[in-house]
């Protein structure tokens, strides 16, 4: 007689492999938790933004027309410099402790994981600037419509700063004195964002249409979102070799 065949149990719902979206969410949660533990690193950039915006009216004087004219440019330059200050440890800390090498070996695409880190950087260092900008704009005598346009342009422009800044941070990863080189690389890339951001606010202030400037900012955001994660991932892989 033939021996009875052994039954093989096949699970109907095997445990799925972690998807790229889950990996991105894990990296995002991790970076946000680390930022809450290292508050001094991102609060310093926020304090810098507030101090620059608060000290300029004291240095320029109380002339209302002058303050209204320079206000958008001052706030935009302060936001740009504050964003650059927070780029120093975007990838550096993970590179030093080996976490970046583990991310590169992950099954999820490195560009997706880098996207999560860039999003965390904007949530930590860019979004607070957008929230504070209308309040700081009041001391320059800006009207409600102008303050709204300022907040809108910063809401669109600060993610571009984070995305482009990620490229600079990745290219200078592991380089001694990389902060100076990072600034030289990023400032030319930041100029279009600064020009169209301030241009939109000034056009709103003069009663002209700001739609063209906002459309260009949106185009820059889409282009940076499409290209920056892949460029950062390629630069990180080069730094790890």
pLDDT confidence tier of residue 143, bands split at 50, 70 and 90: confident
DSSP, collapsed to helix, strand or coil, labels residue 187 as: helix
Range list of H helices, 61-143: 64-85, 92-97, 99-104, 110-121, 127-137
User: For 39-49, what is each residue's pLDDT tens digit?
Assistant: 777 788 889 99
Asked if pLDDT for residue 3 goes beyond 70, the answer is: no
pLDDT at res. 213: 93
Domain spans, the chain? 41-240
Q: What is the dihedral angle through the alpha carbons of 144, 153, 197, 220, rounded to the nearest 10 degrees?
A: -160
63 is written with which tokens?
Answer: 């002339």
User: For 186-236, what is each residue's pLDDT tens digit?
Assistant: 889 999 999 999 999 999 988 887 899 999 999 999 999 999 999 999 988
Rounded Cα distance, 132 and 234, in Å: 34
DSSP state of 122: I
230 is written with which tokens?
Answer: 């892949």
Asked if pLDDT for residue 4 goes beyond 50, the answer is: no
**Distance set, CA 154 to CA 128, 192, 225 (Å):** 10, 13, 16
pLDDT at res. 5: 40
The answer to whether 133 touches 142, Cβ cutoff 8 Å, is no
pLDDT at res. 220: 95
Q: What is the mean pLDDT of residues 82-107?
A: 82
Rounded Cα distance, 220 and 85, in Å: 22
Q: What is the pTM of this model?
A: 0.85
The answer to whether 171 touches 235, Cβ cutoff 8 Å, is yes
pLDDT confidence tier of residue 9, bands split at 50, 70 and 90: very low
């Amino acid at each position: 007689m033939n021996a009875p065949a052994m039954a093989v149990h096949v699970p109907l719902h095997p445990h799925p492999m972690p998807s790229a979206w889950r990996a991105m969410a894990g990296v995002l949660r991790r970076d946000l938790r680390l930022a809450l533990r290292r508050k001094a690193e991102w609060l310093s950039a926020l304090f810098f933004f507030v101090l620059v915006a608060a000290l300029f009216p004291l240095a320029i004087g109380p002339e209302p027309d002058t303050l209204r004219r320079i206000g958008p440019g001052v706030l935009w330059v302060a936001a740009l410099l504050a964003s650059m200050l927070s780029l120093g440890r975007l990838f550096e800390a993970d590179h030093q402790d080996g976490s970046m090498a583990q991310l590169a070996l992950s099954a999820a695409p490195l560009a997706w994981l880098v996207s999560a880190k860039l999003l965390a950087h904007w949530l930590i260092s860019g979004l607070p600037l957008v929230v504070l900008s209308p309040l700081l704009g009041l001391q320059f005598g800006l009207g409600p419509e102008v303050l709204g346009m300022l907040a809108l342009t910063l809401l669109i422009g600060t993610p571009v700063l984070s995305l482009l800044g990620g490229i600079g941070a990745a290219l200078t990863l592991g380089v001694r004195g990389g902060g100076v080189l990072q600034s030289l690389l990023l400032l030319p890339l930041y100029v279009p964002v600064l020009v169209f951001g301030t241009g939109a606010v000034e056009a709103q202030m003069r009663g002209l249409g700001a739609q063209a400037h906002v459309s260009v900012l949106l185009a820059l955001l889409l282009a940076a979102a499409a290209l920056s994660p892949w460029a950062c991932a390629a630069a990180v892989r080069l730094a790890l070799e």
